[in-house]
Each structure stands twice: as C-alpha cells, then as structure tokens.
Amino acid sequence: MARAQRELHLNIGLNTTGYIEPAWRHGATRLEDINDPNFYLEIARLAHQGRFDALFLSDHPALRTGANTRPFHTIDPLILLTHLAAQVPDIGLVATMSTTYNSPYNLARRAQSVDVMSGGRLIVNMVSSFNPDVAANFGAEPLPPRKARYDRANEFLDVVKQLWTSWTPGAKPAPDGQFWEASTGAPIDFKGEYFSIKGPLNVPVSPQRHPVIAQAGGSESGIAFAARHGEIIYANVLSRQAGQAFRAKLNAKAVEFGRDPAEILLVPGLVPFVADTREEALRLHERLHGAANEEELLAQFLRQFGLDPARIDPDKVLTAEEVMPDPEQGGALGFLLGMVELLRHEELTPRQAIRRSAGHHRAVIGTPEEVAEAIIDLWQDGTVDGYTVQPPRIREDTQIFVEKVIPILQSRGVFRDAYRSGETIRERYGLTAV
Amino acid sequence: MARAQRELHLNIGLNTTGYIEPAWRHGATRLEDINDPNFYLEIARLAHQGRFDALFLSDHPALRTGANTRPFHTIDPLILLTHLAAQVPDIGLVATMSTTYNSPYNLARRAQSVDVMSGGRLIVNMVSSFNPDVAANFGAEPLPPRKARYDRANEFLDVVKQLWTSWTPGAKPAPDGQFWEASTGAPIDFKGEYFSIKGPLNVPVSPQRHPVIAQAGGSESGIAFAARHGEIIYANVLSRQAGQAFRAKLNAKAVEFGRDPAEILLVPGLVPFVADTREEALRLHERLHGAANEEELLAQFLRQFGLDPARIDPDKVLTAEEVMPDPEQGGALGFLLGMVELLRHEELTPRQAIRRSAGHHRAVIGTPEEVAEAIIDLWQDGTVDGYTVQPPRIREDTQIFVEKVIPILQSRGVFRDAYRSGETIRERYGLTAV
C-alpha cells in the first residue's frame, strides 16, 4: 500500500430513517420518504458535499414487522446505489449482499455491472446472513450453521473473484474482420465443494478490475473470512485497546493466508451525537434512544445484554463476562462481542459504558470539535483507517456532520477538501491494484 | 381494457451492437462502446426523442465466445436500465430475467426496487432459459427439460406476484407513536412444489403496484405460460395469418385460465431495413446479413434451416414441413416456429421467404413510408398491438427509425407525439390496474 500520506476514510450509512431505531421520532423522515428515490438523492448529494469516501447500505432480504420497529432494509442496495451513482459523481458505493442467499454467477455479474456503470466505485460488503426471517424467504431449510455459512462464503468469494477477472476485452486486439478476440473471455471451470461454475462472466473487468471487498463479521469465522478476502473491514471497535487487539488478530490471520495486512483497512462503525455543547449532546444521545434521561438509557442498555437493571449497580465496574453472549447463539455474534472487547480492555461502569456504544458501534458524543477529535484520535496512531459514520437520524445528523464536523477534519488537514477526478474507490482507499 | 382510442405500441431493442450479428461491420459501434454507460445513454435519449414505449433488453447470463460472434448480453439488464432510468424520464424498461436461474424472493425484490425507483416503468420479460452455457454457470446440473422449466416458471410467477403485493405501506395509518403500521406487510406463507417462501417482500408496491409481465416463448409450454401470466407478448409473428392463428390459440388458453384476452397485448419483434429507395433497402438487408447479394442471402437462409442450398430451388414453394425443427431439441423452440407458421399460412418461395424474417423476427424492408405502412398494416386490424423494434445496427438504425419512420407514424395519427406526464408503463399499455 504505497501512498504519500495516510488519509482518513469516512463512509456514511444511508439506511431509511437512520441508524438508531427510535431516533426517527426526533427527525423529519417519514414513511413516504424511505422508498422515495429523491429522498436518497438528497442525502447522497449532501454526502458528496461532505466528500465522504462512500455511501454504505447494510441489508437483510426480509421485512421486519415487529412492534416499535421501522423498516430498515427496503430497496435492493445495488439498485438504489446504481440509481444514485447515475446522478451523483465521485462518491463510492458500499452494497451489502448475502453469500448464503445468492448464486455466485448472478451476484458477480450484478456487482461487476454496477462497478462498470459507476466507473469503478463499488465496494461489496459480503455477509453470510444470520436471520431466520431471511432463511424463510429462501426455502423451507433453516439457516445453515455459522461454520457452513462461512465455508460457503469463502468458496463463494474464491469463485466470484475468478469470474470478475475472466473477461478482459482489451487484452488482445480483434483479429481482422472480427468484432473482438473471443479468447479474452476464458472459462474458469471452477469445481469446489459448494459451486461448479464454467464462466467466463459476461461482464468485463471494470475500471478498478473488480469491486473492493468489505466484510463486517467479528466472530472467529468472520475474522478468518475477513483475513482471507476482506479489504475494508466494517467491524465494531469501541476503544483503542479493543481495536488494536482486533487488528493484531486480523493481521496474524492475514499473514497465514499469505496476505499483506496493510491491504486490509479498518473502517468501523461510528455513531455521532453532535450538539453545540457536551451537555446538549448527552441529552440528544438519550433522547434519540427513546430515553427521557440517563437512568432510562442505563436500564435500556442493561436489558440489551440480558441484565436486570434492578440488580446491577450502575456505578460499579461491569465485567466482560457479564455481557458475554452465548457463542452458540444464532444472531450476529460479532456485533455483540464489541462490548465484551471494550470491557476486557477498560474498566468501565455501566454509566460509563452506555456512552461508548450505540447500536453496537462506537458512539461519539459532544461538540463538533470533540467529535472531530475523537475521530482523529484512533485514526492518528493507526488503530483504525477511518469510520463508517452511521447517523442516528439520516437527514438531520448527516447534515450536522457535513456542516459542522467535516470542516474541522478538513481544517486539521486529515480529510480531503475535494475528490480526485476519475479515481476509483480502490484508488481512494489506497489499495493495491488487483 | 378500457381506453378511448387504440394506440400503437413500440419498444426498442438495446442490446450491444444491434440485433443482426454481422451488421456491426457496417456500423460505428465498437467493442469499447458495448460496456460504456454513456453509449447506452445516447441510444436511450434517442429512443426517448422517438417516444418509444420502452427500452428492451434481451438476456442470457453467459458470454458466447464462438468465432464470428460479438457479445450480445453483457451488463445486467436491471442494472443498465436503472442507470438509464435515472437519467431519462418517461420511457419504459423491459428487463429479461430467467425463472430457472433466480430465486423468487431476490428477483421479486430487485424488480420491484427498479419499479419503485423508476416511478412504475418496469416490464419484466420472464424466460425459462434454454442455453446449456447458461446452465453451466449455475452448477453441475444440466438444463432441466422444457416442461420442468415451465412448471417452475409458472409457480415462480405465482409466488413473485404474491410477494409484489405483500406490503402496501399506505394501506393503514400508523398507530400513535409508531413509525408505521407493521401489518401493512403480511407474510404470504407460500408453499408450492418448487418454492417455500414466507414473505412479506421488503419492497413496497410501486406506483403501478408491480411490474408488467412480458413473455416471449412460442412453444406450447411458452404459450400456456403467456396465457397464464403474460401481459405483453414478444413473440415472432411473420404474417397476418400467422399472427391471427397465434392470437386465437393464446386467447383460448387465456380464457381457460379465467383471464380476459384483451389484457394480453401482442408486441412481436420487428427488424427494420430502411433506406431512401426499396432497391437500396434490399441491398442493405443483404449487406447487414453479411451477404454480398441475394444469392448469398438465400444460401445463408437455407443453411439456417438445415437445408442444402445446392438441392433447393429458390423459386419453388417451400413447405412448412421442410423448415420444421425437431420439437425435442433443446433450443429456443418458439423462435424457430415463426418460419413454420409463416409457410403454413402463405405459399412462399425461399426467394420470397428470405425477405420476411431477420433473426427469426418479422423483417420490414423499404422506404420510411413502406416501413411505416407495414407497421400500421398488421396493427390496424388488431393482429398485433405494436412491435418491439430490433434495429439491425443499434446506433444507425435507431437513428434512421426515429428520424424517418416515427414522424410518418405520428403524422398518420397512430403514434404519440409526446409522453403523458407521470404515467406508468401499465397505463401507457392500457392494461387494467392490478
């Protein structure tokens, strides 16, 4: 990874009302907005004005219909991002896709199509899916166990990468009287445990040859997958120590796979609560979680980890063991481990811990200056390479971040003032050409 | 189907270099164009200027690499059409998709996403796939037999239609303090022979509730599928008599399924060869097929039907039996039956027959006036509802058609001068709301 100067990278989450479920009550986003292309176009233009690296869309192919929910995953990410990329230049596109509920050829083709159409701006965030509601939309079989999902995911990426580079139209000139040299598209004849695929892909290499690969999982299987295939890691890192421990584990695994750890960038989630004063920001943090005050926020936090608020002293140190999830559980294990890792490395009371995470990602609460400082802090020493900013309220908090936090990051000289014309997202991230 | 006045409908094919394989030699389209978004944008804008109903993309998820080929199916149709729809208003979008090599939930979601993003402009052209090269990109299993493919296709559409209408966000107001009324999304709990899918879809109904359904197959299974699910039929109809026979068969089947035949529109392929004089147009027709003269075109035609040019008198009537394909063959049977149906209803010599079809669809050869007359002819008496124009050379022949043929159709009062603002493609086709 050869670049003159290390850069801060910032993606921004774009899902429906914003990252924090109850926060919509304090925002202007309404049901009619969340499937309106012009709504997303407005946010994407704001993000472009803020010079974000990329728009990020998480995804589950299922509609959650429980009480007190709001739809969080609706329009297909590749379709929405294609629509936006056609109208907003420069900005990258992160689309989340399941390796469990797609076929490699179709996914490779669609993703490469977006990468070609957008001029090399696509990042695919590969997930193995963990939700039984998703499984039920794809047949009578239950969700495969985690290990089988990750085994499939690994082979899935092996074959997809081969497909992505199977047709290079310009590799040889067309013979006389022919439209093209057909041998520039070569079969891959892949035969694995899960997939048998002939190829070549009928979409050519893109301006960055193929999409950048992002990965989110923080479980052991997730880290192994990240080390083998990931280039951008969207994990939940709640402290310097936890980040460095995660990074060390990831690097060791990457070396096992023969990869240069410098080719794997850490861009964890970050949930900003920004106001003119720190006091206001703390109240905003409570309010956007649907809590009237700190005590309600505390109770909510403890219940989330299966703890009884009546039996826990909010001012006594909480141990990692107390918040440890059952490793056999079916959910997004990596997500729940963020708090465990935080408490392993720092002594924190519940009253302190509640201010460190929001929706499992790192919470930063304060004035624009404090938030900018917090962002620079873990970036400066290389703990992280940047963040995937998840605005609690999509419209309001994106606007505040772009108008108040970004200019500080720019004035400190750590964040770009302008896009470099025509660069691919792989170039922007300083990743080596594939 | 209640509308004041019958309208002529015209779609336009948009695949790579144009419909006729060797025609690229006489056009300006080059290899670097066929994966260039701006190239397609230029054609789409031309089509919009011509007031076409919709852009049409056929598809196979495989790269043909034989000698004398050119890539014909590259960028994923839904991705390319989303890219174009974001920049070109009004015009509809026909995306071809396989029911054999997709899962219903993913396909339903992606298609509905495009329909929502485009304001209700999507038509899905459902095909069951017939190409062993495609099968090899989706596993070790060979292509299922035609009957199994169509059985699956029928159930596929049953479930997809249920998914498309499973979430109507505006159906009930949100309860106090809630973002939405979650019961507006209802599980479909589909359990069929091929699919088991819970639902609801996480994309809501679109401005036209769901995409219009097109279908192409002309085999018996294809006609049954069209009668059950199709709204726009892209068949190959080479004469009035053949068209009326096809229509009668389709109508009878539709009635069996309890459908109103008036809800099924026939919009067959049409390949125009337009020049200032009829003589020039005949030479263009030969040249674009890579034939130096009529004799070469004749030989090409006979070989296509497995006939020996040395043993056939080009001026003696050709019978339907002589061009009958093996019904057990694996290819696109319906396509090959077009010539059979033509010869069943008209006495034609090979020298006459070669001027009636191009790439299995109806060829129209002549001056702009003659081509316009030929289009109006079969439309006027209701044999067809319009055509899917397949320009032999994508750029040149689209331009000639838009600049010379469309104005004649407009001056005769059979084709629109302008789009009606905000209308869905379902409304444009005069189909009843679903």
CA distance A152 to B67: 36
Q: Which of A93, A101, A113, A184 to mutate to test the interface with B (most CBs of B within 10 A)?
A: A113
Of A74, A113, A204, the CB nearest to B79: A113
CB B9 within 8 A of CB B53: yes
| B173/B161 Cα distance (integer angstroms) | 24
pLDDT band at A325 (very low <50, low <70, confident <90, very high): confident
* Confidence class for position B330, pLDDT limits 50, 70, 90: low
- Where does A315-367 have alpha helices with state H? 333-345, 350-353
The residue of B21, B26, B63 whose CB has the most chain A CBs within 10 angstroms, and thus the best one to mutate to test that interface, is B63
Mean pLDDT, rounded, of chain B: 95
Partners of residue B61 in chain A, C-beta under 8 Å: 105-106, 109, 202
**Cα A125–A128–A134 angle (5° rounding)?**
110
Taking alpha carbons only, the member of B54, B59, B43 closest to residue B107 is: B59
Closest residue on chain A to B40 (Cα): A117
Which distant-in-sequence residues (6+ apart) come within 8 Å of A38 by Cβ? none
For residue A54, the enclosing domain spans: 9-172+180-274+361-428
The rounded radius of gyration (Å) of the Cα atoms in chain B is 22
How far apart, in whole angstroms, are the C-alpha atoms of residue A268 and residue A423? 23
Task: Please tell me the predicted confidence (pLDDT) of residue B218.
Answer: 78
**For position A258, what pLDDT does the model report?**
97
What pLDDT is recorded for position B331? 65
Q: Which residues of B touch A169 (CB under 8 A)?
A: 31-32, 35
- A126-140, B47-61, B191-205: segment of lowest average pLDDT: A126-140
- Work out the average pLDDT over A238-249: 95
Determine the 3-state secondary structure of A57 from DSSP: strand
- Given an 8 Å threshold on Cβ–Cβ distance, is A76 in contact with B109? yes
Chain B interface test: which of A202, A210, A393 (most B C-beta within 10 Å)? A202
Residue B347 located in a structural domain: no
Query: Within a domain: residue B95?
Result: yes
Q: How far is A119 from chain B (nearest CA, A)?
A: 9
Measured CA distances, A36 to A75, A83, A132, B119, B144 (Å): 10, 11, 28, 9, 40
Instruction: Tell whether B333 is covered by a domain.
Output: no
Please report whether residue B234 resides in a domain: yes
Q: Does residue B59 have a known ligand-binding role?
A: yes
Among A17-31, A141-155, A413-427, B251-265, which stretch is predicted with the lowest mean pLDDT?
A: A141-155
CATH code at position A408: 3.20.20.30
B292 domain-assigned: no
Q: What does the pLDDT read at residue B4?
A: 57
Is B219 annotated as contributing to ligand binding? Answer: yes
Report the pLDDT averaged over residues A105-116: 98
ipTM given for this complex: 0.96
Please give the annotated binding residues of A for FMN, written as ranges.
59, 96, 150, 219
Q: Minimal CA–CA distance to A79: which of B389, B211, B423?
A: B211
Counting the structural domains of chain A, the total is 1
Residues of A in contact with B113 (CB under 8 A): 75-76, 79-80
From the list B65, B75, B106, which residue is nearest A185 (CB)? Answer: B65
A83 domain-assigned: yes
Residue A99 is assigned to a structural domain of this protein: yes
pLDDT at B119 exceeding the cut of 90:
yes
Q: What's the pLDDT at A2? A: 44
- Please answer whether residues B15 and B72 qualify as being in contact, where contact means their C-beta atoms are separated by less than 8 angstroms: yes
Backbone torsion region of residue B195, taken as left when φ is above 0, otherwise alpha when ψ lies between -120 and 50, otherwise beta: beta
What pLDDT does A1 receive?
41
Interchain proximity B17–A195, CB inside 8 Å: no
pTM over 0.90: yes
pLDDT of A330 reads 62
- A329 pLDDT band (50/70/90 cuts)? low
Beta carbons of B83 and A78 less than 8 Å apart: no
Interatomic CA distance for residues A403 and A406, integer angstroms: 7
The overall longest dimension of chain B from CA atoms, in Å, is: 82
Question: Looking at residue B185, what DSSP letter applies?
Answer: B
B1 — pLDDT class (breaks 50, 70, 90): very low
Q: Which long-range contacts (CB under 8 A, 24 or more apart) does B27-30 make?
A: B27/B393, B27/B394, B27/B395, B27/B396, B28/B395, B28/B396, B29/B393, B29/B394, B29/B395
Give residues with Cβ within 8 angstroms of A34, minimum separation 6.
A16, A17, A70, A71, A74
Q: Residue B31 and residue A140: Cβ atoms within 8 Å? A: no
- Whether A60 is covered by a domain: the verdict is yes
Distance (Å) from the C-alpha of residue B168 to the closest C-alpha of chain A? 11
Strands A357-358 vs A361-366: parallel, antiparallel or unpaired:
antiparallel
In this complex, the residue of B80, B116, B196 whose CB is nearest that of residue A140 is: B196
The 3-class secondary structure across A134-161, one letter per residue, is HHCCCCCCCCCCHHHHHHHHHHHHHHHH
The whole-number average pLDDT for the span B293-309 is: 94
Q: Is the pLDDT of residue A284 over 80?
A: yes
> Which range, of A262-276, B129-143, B387-401, averages the lowest pLDDT?
B129-143
For an interface test with A, which of B29, B58, B117, B188 has the most A Cβ atoms less than 10 Å from its Cβ?
A: B117
> Nearest CA of chain A to the CA of B58: how many Å?
14
Least reliable range by pLDDT among A43-47, A74-78, A216-220, B232-236: A216-220
In this complex, do A63 and B116 lie within 8 Å of one another by their Cβ atoms?
Answer: no
